[in-house]
Amino acid sequence: MALLQIAEPGKSAAPHQRRIAVGIDLGTTNSLVAAVRSGVSEVLADEQGRFLLPSIVHYNEDGGVELGYNAAEKANQDPLNTIASAKRLMGKGFDEVAQMQAYELVSGPSQLAAFRTRAGDKTPLEIAAEILKSLVNRAEQSLGDEVNGAVITVPAYFDDTQRQATKDAATLAGINVLRLLNEPTAAAVAYGLDHQASGIHAIYDLGGGTFDISILNLSKGVFEVLATGGDTALGGDDFDLLIVQWIASQADYENLNVQQHRYVSAVAKAAKESLAEAATVNVELNEFGLQWQGELTRDQMNELIDPVIRRTLRACKKTLRDSGVDVSGIEQVVMVGGSTRVLSVRDQVGALFQSEPLVSIDPDRVVAMGAAIQADILIGNRPDSEMLLLDVLPLSLGIETVGGLSEKIIPRNTTLPVSRAQEFTTYQDGQVMMSIHVLQGEREMVQDCRSLAKFTLKDIPPAVAGAAKIRVAFQVDADGLLTVSAQELTTQKTTQVEVKPSFGLEEVEIRRMLQESFANAAEDAAARALREIQVDGQRLLDALDAAIAEDGKLLSESETLSLQTEMDALRVLVAGEQKTDLERAIAHLNKSSEAFAAARMNASIEVALTGKSIDSLE
Amino acid sequence: MDFKQNYFELFQLPIAYQVDSHRLNDAYRELQTQIHPDRYAQGSEAEKLSSVQASSFVNEAYQTLKSSVSRARYLVELAGVAIDLSATTIADGAFLMQQMELREELEDASHSADPEKLLEKIAQQVHDNLADLVRSFSALSEPWDFNDLNVESVGQGAQLVYQMKFLEKLSIEIENIEQSLLD
């Protein structure tokens, strides 16, 4: 269980006490956890000294859950209860992925795809939560302390639903998410800080199931993403599949069953890995009723996988155009992800960018290492750090307009965070409701974009058509997550927005999953919910203590007094067990500290521009 | 949040079309270093919200001043003339004629034997025309005094902005066609 430590009431944690934060690379094939120790970012190994955790979860007959290498061993015998590559289905609707092989898929909550297992129907989000929990446990064992927060990486090209699903998985695993960080940006951080790099860099990240290309400008600790592109359903798995098809056609096998398919995939993967070193490899099938032997050369494999590599190169060219940089402007190209071990990938990427690809950091570990560095900064262990990550929105956000067209509101590659507003009006006399369909993607037609959510604006004051003015504001935060709010402008009344995510879980679903996951655990969900709120309360107190210590001079005497009084009351509640009162006090204190927060922000802007400290601004 | 100040004031730049890009970049980075949500990861919810809003505002301001088209539009709006793209009226007959020709060429290019080469030629043409408009706007707005604005001159500026937006839209269309050729 990864919950935060709670300081004794009245004795908040010392401001400079070092806190533990980790970076987690939640991969399609393998996952890793890293932390900064003595100023160095390192990937944490399990008890057997292994760094990778295969992203595989097995539900066994005794009602237990096995992970990683242990689960991988069960993949061949019990494929339907052994889930691998769940990341490919994150945030996907059942209808979108029903054809995915090798599993029994069902339509789960909110029409999300779910795996049918003996332990019940499991959404990819629940599978991811198991992996995250296991990684946090590993970190706590290895570091001998509780983990206070984590930065979790996602493919840069993940859309809003996929990001939200990842964040929900972390919530389910009880992790305090400091930030969702894009994988190529994380790699850039690891390389940038290690090599004192500057100039424009391309990060080519080909993992097991996802591909990203990001173009970044690195300068004096600022990592500015200029453009990003990719494909969230393209990776080393596709290389394996092409080799499986080749083996099947060579061996004349027409219909492989689930078990056989898994087996041949494993053989294909091993052959691919061998060909990174050897020029030819012997391929042999001798299990699950299959009997065949043959030889695969590197040239043959290169030919097989060439279409996949070409697709990645097309995405690179497109992203380069988006960034407004041409090939000659690229300082260096960095290789990330296990699939960049394939020599043909390195050769072709090197040729495209006209430079020798940089591979000096292990392509499997670099993302987790970068994430750990950012986690260490975000948790507050490096107050003097000058590092600044400016990432972008990977896919345009739009809304459905007349004729089934998508009108772009925020274009792709806009720097985050971003907020944009759009005004809408009624088209019928007396209209009191309005539906807004939020979309993500580049295509013109609604059906070619991804549906994010449908919003219904209610209580619009009845008037003639075109008289009401509704302002809908879109806010995308630094995690790349969207929130929408609406206001009726003629009455200034904030219009009620009913959010119906197209492929997302509602909070009640997450609570239910949480409850289920506690069915066999010692602690129950209610107790954990209370503890989480206590942690929230303590975090708020710590934040305000620090803010007052730093900028208390921005408050008048009476403001300080009323804030302190509320804080004292909260301190008492944090130590108690009155969940509802505690929640209410937190919400209230958040509200009453808004003006102080805004004042601090304005003071910060002044400081930035004049180079003076806040003290001299009074 | 006190964001009533205009984008030029935010970055402490003079209100003018010519912008010192080094000063703009430095001021932008300095501001984000102070207010970006990463600086408030341990802050209260109110602080996080405040930081997202401030950081978004600074991003918007930066993007607006960085691009020569949106900077022109912003300056005209600051001078009191609203730009309504849904009801564009371009009065310049010669410009309209030129645009019609470019569009016809674009239409033909998609069906030609070597579309990429033709598209590149049209893209270059659009790019050059845009650069001309930027120069014209720069010259036109040079003498603008925001305490004593020449209404007629600002109106001419607005016309130039409509023409710029027109070309910008065309260049997006060209890019889309080029993109569909790549796929």
| 3-state class (DSSP) for residue A525 | helix
Q: Which amino acid is at A19?
A: R
**Rounded distance, CA A76 to CA A260, Å?**
8
What pLDDT shows up at residue B166? 87
Q: Residue A434's closest CA among A405, A414, A463, A391?
A: A463
- Catalytic residue flag (residue A87): yes
Same fold, B7-66 and B86-182: no
- Catalytic residue flag (residue A326): no
Looking only at the bridges linking them, the beta strands covering A105-107 and A82-84 are unpaired
Residue A53: both structure tokens together: 């955790």
Cβ neighbourhood burial of A209 (10 Å; 0-12, 13-18, 19+): buried
Q: What is the pLDDT of residues A533-586, one digit of tens each?
A: 888 898 899 889 988 988 888 888 888 898 999 999 999 988 888 888 999 999
* B86-182 placed in CATH 3.40.50.720: no
**CATH architecture of residue range(s) A397-506:** Sandwich (2.60)
β partners of residue A8 = none
Superfamily of structural domain B7-66: DnaJ domain (1.10.287.110)
For the domain bounded by A523-617, which CATH number is listed? Answer: 1.20.1270.10
CB contact under 8 A, B35 and A598: no
CB contact under 8 A, B32 and A388: yes
What pLDDT shows up at residue A527? 78
Omega cis (within 30) before A417: yes
- Catalytic residue flag (residue A423): no
- Cβ–Cβ pairs < 8 A, chains A and B: 123
CB contact under 8 A, B56 and A418: yes
Average pLDDT, 10 consecutive residues per value, chain A (618 residues): 41 60 96 94 95 96 92 87 90 76 78 89 94 97 94 95 93 94 96 78 94 93 94 90 93 84 90 93 90 93 95 93 92 94 95 93 96 95 88 93 87 95 84 87 88 82 83 90 82 61 71 68 71 87 89 89 91 88 90 88 78 47
What pLDDT shows up at residue A203? 97
- Judge whether B116 is closer than 8 Å to chain A, CB to CB: no
- Chain B hits for A414, CB-CB cut-off 8 Å, are 59, 63
Task: Tell me the fold of A21-184+367-382.
Answer: Nucleotidyltransferase; domain 5 (3.30.420)
What pLDDT shows up at residue A493? 65
Residue span(s) of chain A under CATH 2.60.34.10 come to 397-506
Q: Decide: A183 and A348 in contact? Cβ < 8 Å.
A: no
Q: Which of A130, A159, A183, A364 is catalytic?
A: A183
- Judge whether A598 is closer than 8 Å to chain B, CB to CB: yes
CB contact under 8 A, B44 and A378: no
**DSSP code for B5:** S
**Phi, psi at residue A217, to the nearest 5°?**
-105, 115
CA distances from A243 to A102, A103, A263, A276, A468 (A): 17, 20, 13, 15, 60
Nearest-Cα distance to chain A for B90, in Å, is 23
Residue span(s) of chain A under CATH 3.30.420.40 come to 21-184+367-382
CB neighbour list of residue B48: distance below 8 Å, 6 or more residues apart: B37, B40
Helix-, strand-, coil-residue percentages of chain B, each rounded to 5: 75, 0, 25
pLDDT tier, B119 (very low <50, low <70, confident <90, very high otherwise): confident
What pLDDT shows up at residue A15? 47
Residue span(s) of chain A under CATH 1.20.1270.10 come to 523-617
- Judge whether B61 is closer than 8 Å to chain A, CB to CB: no
Q: Where are the domains of chain B?
A: 7-66, 86-182
Q: Decide: B73 and B165 in contact? Cβ < 8 Å.
A: yes
| 3-state class (DSSP) for residue A419 | strand
- Catalytic residue flag (residue A183): yes
What pLDDT shows up at residue A521? 59
Nearest to A601 among B35, B44, B45 (CB): B35
- Judge whether B82 is closer than 8 Å to chain A, CB to CB: no
- Chain A hits for B60, CB-CB cut-off 8 Å, are 418-420
Q: Decide: B43 and A597 in contact? Cβ < 8 Å.
A: yes
Nearest to A417 among B46, B56, B183 (CB): B56
Looking only at the bridges linking them, the beta strands covering A149-154 and A21-25 are parallel
Instruction: Supply the DSSP string of A264-297, one letter for each residue.
Output: HHHHHHHHHHHTTT-SEEEEEE-STT--EEEEEE
Q: Which of A205, A212, A238, A479 is catalytic?
A: A205
Q: How many CA atoms lie within 13 A of A526 on its CB side?
A: 4
Q: Residue A482's closest CA among A499, A495, A506, A505?
A: A499
What pLDDT shows up at residue A268? 94
Looking only at the bridges linking them, the beta strands covering A113-117 and A292-297 are unpaired
Residue B81: pLDDT over 80: yes
Q: Residue A319's closest CA among A410, A234, A408, A228?
A: A228
Looking only at the bridges linking them, the beta strands covering A177-182 and A149-154 are parallel
Residue A51: both structure tokens together: 């760094």
